[in-house]
Amino acid sequence: MKMEQLAAIRRDLHQIPELGFHEYKTQAYILNHLQQHPENRLEIEKWKTGLFVKVKGTAPEKILAYRADMDGLSIQEQTGYAFSSVHPDKMHACGHDFHMTIALGIIDYFVHHPVKQDLLFLFQPAEEGPGGAEPMLESDIMKKWEPTMITALHIAPELPVGTIGTKSGLLFANTSELVIELEGKGGHAAYPHLAEDMVVAASSLVTQMQSIVARNVDPLDSAVITIGTITGGSAQNIIAQEAKLEGTIRTLSPSSMDEVRKRIEAMVQGLEIAYHCKGKVSYPAAYHQVYNSSDLVEDFMQFVSENGLAEVIRSKEAMTGEDFGYMLKKYPGFMFWLGVDSPYGLHHAKLQPKEEALETAVRVMTVYLSARAQ
């Protein structure tokens, strides 16, 4: 597929971002593109708003898989693109339009250049939330087409085009959403002694939680607790009866995630006593760490470097989260960063990845899979 075709597909997909498990237009667009290929080359199975696409091998003994996520984010786009999102308050601000385009480019290549092994492409919904990888893994289709190995990529705004980055072992952190709901006794602002102020309670809790990383996590490990939103109260002269805190927890080990959660829950229990209130802690979505298979990723890095397909750098661990970690927990494989050279980062309303990176990724993966699928 030529660069102009890749750019056109990316721009089409960029205009129709949809949230997790609502990727109806996206699924239809991908299906329409795939149906242009000969029917005897592909097997396609729908799964919720996602897709399984198998490119048939000539004499298959195993299946090599590649995952591309599909969903967008709840962000109002500010790129100024002529092909900006047509869906208000929704944007492909994490590169999933790139990820899907690259997968379609790889599929197009192998439809016309058969290899011995079957190649399985997973177009996965709901990566940003509530999480599509786990239920997709449990589907009957996945059980029918279990891969021998699985790979994926993620755009990296800070890396130049023509560069990929990855490493053995831990690449992305364990992540968990965090929601804390507090309920006390509201009242008149002039009579605070007759009420239990949940704005004060919430403020106290935010301050207390900052001690968890400093005093309950091994200093040789790493963790982050971020409270992104606090809501509470209804008017300036009414003491708030309720407050809600929403945030995220990120750790480099599963054990630290368990410890951080236990400490937060203990603090909320203490808050209930101190502020005469009720507290509820929940974790709406949590993602397992992305842990690359050392032998496979080292082979990949060496192959790409020796064949001059891209500049390869050895990355450091990142506190970003990715539900691809669940797939790597079940199957050998790896994920890597793809340099796209954007002045704005992931989840930013002005993210502008350079489209030349599409060609880099398709070249890397078609040559690599051609060699490993014989």
* Predicted model pTM: 0.93
Does 128 qualify as catalytic in the annotation?
A: yes
Question: Which of the following is catalytic: 71, 108, 128, 359?
Answer: 128
Task: Please work out, in degrees rounded to the nearest 5, the angle formed at the alpha carbon of residue 243 by the alpha carbons of 240 and 247.
Answer: 155
Cis, peptide link before residue 125, omega less than 30° from 0: no
Tens of pLDDT, residue by residue, the chain (374 residues): 899 999 999 999 999 999 999 999 999 999 999 999 999 999 999 999 999 999 999 999 999 999 999 999 999 999 999 999 999 999 999 999 999 999 999 999 999 999 999 999 999 999 999 999 999 999 999 999 999 999 999 999 999 999 999 999 999 999 999 999 999 999 999 999 999 999 999 999 999 999 999 999 999 899 999 999 999 999 999 999 999 999 999 999 999 999 999 999 999 999 999 999 999 999 998 999 999 999 999 999 999 999 999 999 999 999 999 999 999 999 999 999 999 999 999 999 999 999 999 999 999 999 999 999 99
| CA angle in degrees (0–180, nearest 5) for 226-228-232 | 125
CA-CA-CA-CA torsion sign (77, 318, 174, 142):
positive
For the chain, which domains are there?
3-169+289-372 (3.40.630.10), 174-286 (3.30.70.360)
DSSP 161-182: TTEEEE-SEEEE-EEEEEEEEE
3-state secondary structure of 260: helix
From the candidates 18, 23, 69, 183, which is the catalytic residue? 69
Asked about 295 being catalytic, the answer comes back as no
